[in-house]
Amino acid sequence: MKLIINYSIYLVTDHNCLGGRDFLACIEDALRGGVTLVQLREKNVDGGIFLQKALAVKKLCDKYKIPLLINDRIDIALACKAAGVHLGQADIPADVARSLLGSEAIIGVSAHNCEEAIAAEKSGADYLGVGAIFPTNSKEDASEVGLNMLKEIRKISKLPIVGIGGIKAQNYVQVRAAGAQGAAIISGILGAENIEDEVKKIKSTISD
């Protein structure tokens, strides 16, 4: 049976935001604060190191009963028994990922326009990651699509939408008001001085 996912406060990891702080301690602070979903995103890391980190993060997520998704790497998702993966436009299609991960896996796909959103839905994606909503330094290749594109995609897709890119406590409500079920947040959580309190601050703005 497929997990019912709460996309509202979706943490995407990036050790570059931590200012030298301990990675796992910061992830646990975010979990303690109330994030509802975690995506482990590790760029330019050897597979063995990625897997070690994935197993450690999975253990933490299990402790707080929060699903873990892996960015891009289906092999790592399988090896650590993650809930699923998030795929970019340059990654393998969602239907191929589904054939490898199984029917219960959660598969998200990045979409920057309506055409990509429609294609992702047809290929069996469970949710869409739409962005960048606001300017961001966390993803070097992110082009800003803005709230208006999120609204357009909301009109043509039945899938849950997660906004990503430059989202923080101050603008979180705008993303939800535009039709997103949640927001994927990187530096807006992990760059905070007190990560647990920052997540609680975001959580306090949620009305549904």
SS3 137: coil
Whether the per-residue pLDDT at 142 is higher than 80: the answer is no
State yes or no: pLDDT of 146 exceeds 70.
yes
Whole-prediction pTM: 0.96
Instruction: Domain ranges for the chain, please list them.
Output: 9-203
Catalytic residues: 41, 110, 139
Band of pLDDT at residue 144, cut at 50, 70 and 90: confident
Whole-number average pLDDT of the chain: 95
Are residues 163 and 196 in contact, defined by beta-carbon separation less than 8 angstroms? no
9-203 carries CATH number 3.20.20.70: yes
Q: What does the pLDDT average to over 156-167?
A: 97
* Average pLDDT rounded to a whole number, residues 130-156: 87
Of residues 164, 208, 127, 182, the one with CA closest to residue 6: 182
Q: What is the pLDDT of residue 138?
A: 65
> Each residue of 100-127: pLDDT tens digit?
999 999 999 999 999 999 999 999 999 9
High-pLDDT (> 90) share of the chain, %: 91
